[in-house]
Amino acid sequence: MIKKIFKRLGLKDKLLGLIVPFLLLIIWQGAVTKHLFSELLVVPPLTLLNTLIELAKSGDLSSNILASLNRVLIGFLIGASGGFILGIAMGLSPIINRTLSPLVKALQQVPEFAWMPVIILLFGIDEFAKNIFIAIGAFYPMLFNTYLGVSGVPDKYHELAQVYQYKSHRYLAKVILPSALPSIITGIRLSLGLSWVFVVGAEFFGTEAGVGFMMISGRQLFQIDVVMAGLVVIGTIGFLLNYVLQLLEKKLSGGRVAFDGGIA
Amino acid sequence: MNISKRTKSVLGSILLPVVLIILWQYIFSAGYIASAILPSPHQVIKTFIIHFTENEYSFHIISSLKRVLSGFFIGIVSGFLFGLFIGLSRTAEKIFSPSFNAVRQISIIGWIPLIVMWFGVNEFPRIIIIAAAAFYPIALNTFAGVRNVPREYVELASVYGYNRLKLITRIILPSALPSIATGITLALGMSWAMLMAAELFIPTNIGIGTRIQIGREKFNMALILVGIITVGSLGFAMTSIVEIIAHAADRGRILRKEI
Amino acid sequence: MSVEKGTLEIRNLSKSYVVDNNQLQILKNINITFPSGAFVSILGSSGCGKTTLLRIMLGLEKQYEGDALIDGEKIKGPGSNRGIVFQDHRLLPWLTVGENVAFGLDKLNRKEKKLLVDDHLKLVGLSGFENAYPSNLSGGMAQRVAIARALANKPEILLLDEPLGALDALTRMYMQKELERLWEFEKITMIMVTHDVEEAIYLSDKIVIMSSRPGVIKKVIDIPSARPRDRASSEFMHIKAEILKEFHLGTEYPFAYAI
């Protein structure tokens, strides 16, 4: 009877997935109580939970998260809109594509963090520099996915637009963009995800607020619980951003799973 | 004169970079911008030559390559084994993949402060970070490759009485190869990107990232640009090599399919 | 010279491609008039250039010798006086059925649009489906929406490029009846490309038989029979045999048995 309920809920599988976290918790707690490691290097799970609660209560957590999200949003908007516009231009015009793609490919070879010294030298380490740094990271996935979507509009839709004499903005709005939409949404998801990754890195370079700042100052003050709390926050927000956009992606491309005439 | 289509397209491709470089040189020569902020192409090339003729720079390059390759190999070997393991065993997948997927949500850069606190500022945490960056894509792609082996192939193997080892080496791995190759290419890109983060956030005296950082401290943009060009070209060269190998692996599969 | 609206004329039309320095003749010296209000089929096996001919009439192909005239004027490109139904329904998957039908009605206001869409969905028997998405329709329904979209523009001529080619045999016969009904209702010229002999006989006033390489008109057959036509009648069979003979598929006197 109990077995049946287990099976129906897929509980067995879920329990299996809990083995590793559970063992880790035991080892972790055990290591702390047996004083295998210094309290400075490993804090017990409960302390971490307490730290998270205290950070949340004091408002530190939310103000740091908001500071980071604010940077992400601005950097993402700058980088992704640049990538979007350029992606459309390169997708629509073979001439623009041929002219720009070698340059884009060359610049793309440069690892994101190698730009940081350049940006700091040019703009200092203020807010604007961080926005630019995030924008560079957000730019590429948006550019590539928009380009793929736009250049991948099937010929048959181009023909249809020609027959019905669709031109310029009407053509773009009614045929090209809707057709490229799933790819563009993928671009937004990847682009936003990378922005969230890079904001933490940008904040390591020095700032007064943000999740990355919280972790770096935690490290300097040897508050390992704060550093670990930062990890939990990074993971949770990264997961949520990805999850929400993936839902959107599925929803928007849901109505048009490869369809070319079904059974009569 | 009749210019062929190919020549035209090549000319089109190099047109913009050439124009940009000329413009760049012009802006500098006209004295609009201080050379600390934007050095002239001529200055960059000079710095480039000076650095590459002295032994020290190649030492930095080799050190960075060593660093990235150690991390990369540790990452792909462990990632491959892990991906294979959870790919082959559904129980293992159920046990490990929830934790794996949870940890994966934390970007690797985020781990840097914690790892530095644990292991100090030395080579070990740098390599760990690079290895972790390589681990995820190879693990995910190996897992996907193993899981997507067509059922028909597995049935064929059982018809011919293959044992488990033979099934893995003759059917599952060859069939998963293209996916694994993709994972390796992605892993290399990730390692290379993380090398810069490792050298910047876990300070060291040796490495290209360090040279770029020194350029910033000395307000020497030419030095920074030389570093960036070096990093970009090396990354491109390494990715190309891996892509060629991956492509060859893929072609091998097509050939085998035809037989 | 005035011509009745809905007349399409092809005069001395030839078209060839150059492939690897070899001239490949697609259409050769085509001369034909499609009278206003008639249903004409262009019948031929694949590769005879019949679809190319249709695309010339539509205005998508512009490179050819000779003339293609609509109502006495040269065809310069696609225009709203010609509608098209492709073999694939080519409905845009991100638009609803209603929005798809209104695709060519952009210049009208919302009310006029709705009126025309409702009218034409009713005409093809799909009232109440205007908010459905193409992915929820069967192949036959999707093709009916495509026909509604073409007719909503009030064309003088409807071009049909193997419109029923993707449907199963029973749906196909049903849709042939529907096409006939629509033709009689709209009283416009319809030009259909097909490789289905029975379909051509069932629907057409006139059948243009084409042969391949190069595409030339082999024979034009007028079919005066009363409508609706009975596929099992001896007259129908007789016409069918006559057409099949043109394709060397006649069964009456196979050479080997003709003693």
User: Residue C130 gets which letter from DSSP?
Assistant: T
Residue pLDDT, tens place only, C11-57: 888 888 877 778 888 888 888 989 888 999 999 887 778 888 889 99
Domains and CATH numbers, chain C: 8-81+155-257 (3.40.50.300)
How long a stretch of residues is chain C?
259
Contact indicator for B206, B60 with CB cutoff of 8 Å: yes
Tell me the average pLDDT of chain C. Answer: 85
Stated as kind and residue range, the H or E segment containing B40 is none
Nearest to B177 by CA among B256, B78, B93: B256
Residue among A155, A157, A164, A169 with most chain C CBs within 10 A, to mutate = A164
What is the side-by-side strand order in the sheet with C189-194? Answer: C82-85, C157-161, C189-194, C39-43, C206-211, C216-222
Q: State mean pLDDT over B102-126.
A: 89
- Find, among A196, A190, A191, A192, the residue nearest to A234 by Cα: A196
Q: Domain range for residue B247? A: 43-258
**Percent of chain B residues past pLDDT 90, beyond the cut:** 24
Instruction: Give the three-state DSSP class for B222.
Output: helix
- Residue B15 in any domain: the answer is no
Tell me the sheet residues that pair with C19: C22
With contacts defined as CB-CB under 8 Å, which chain A residues touch B200?
A: 113, 116-117
pLDDT string in tens for chain A (264-residue length): 566 665 666 677 778 878 888 888 888 777 777 777 777 777 777 888 888 898 888 888 899 999 999 999 999 999 999 999 999 999 999 888 888 888 888 888 888 898 988 888 888 888 899 999 999 999 999 999 999 999 999 988 999 998 888 888 888 888 999 889 989 998 999 999 999 999 998 998 877 888 899 998 888 888 888 898 999 999 999 999 888 888 888 877 654 443 333 322
C147-165 residue pLDDT tens: 999 998 888 899 999 988 8
Query: What's the pLDDT at B32?
Result: 64
How far is it, in rounded angstroms, from Cα C193 to Cα B22? 58
Which one of A103, A115, A238 has the shortest CB-CB distance to B106? Answer: A238
- Rounded to the nearest 10°, the torsion over CA A140, A142, A148, A152 is -160
CA-angle at B136, arms to B192 and B145, nearest 5°: 115
B37 within a domain of the structure (yes/no) = no
Asked if B209 and A109 come within 8 Å (Cβ–Cβ), the reply is no
What is the spatial distance between Cα A187 and Cα A220, in angstroms, rounded to a whole number? 36
Residue-range domain boundaries for chain A: 2-33, 45-254
Residues of A in contact with C60 (CB under 8 A): 159, 162-163
Q: What is the pLDDT of residues C88-112, one digit of tens each?
A: 888 888 888 988 898 888 788 888 8
Q: Is residue B95 part of a domain?
A: yes
CATH code, domain carrying B70? 1.10.3720.10
Q: What is the Cα Rg of chain A in Å? A: 24
Angle, nearest 10°, between helix axes B173-201 and A177-204?
40
Per DSSP, what are the bridge partners of residue C209?
C43, C219
Q: Can you tell me the mean pLDDT for B159-172?
A: 81
Give the neighbor-by-neighbor strand order of the sheet with C65-70: C22-34, C8-19, C65-70, C73-74
Total count of domains within chain B: 1
Q: Does residue A264 sit at the B interface (CB-CB below 8 Å)?
A: no
Question: Do the chains contact at A110 and B102, CB–CB below 8 Å?
Answer: no
Q: What CATH architecture does domain A45-254 belong to?
A: Orthogonal Bundle (1.10)
Residue C251 — pLDDT band, cuts 50, 70, 90? Answer: low
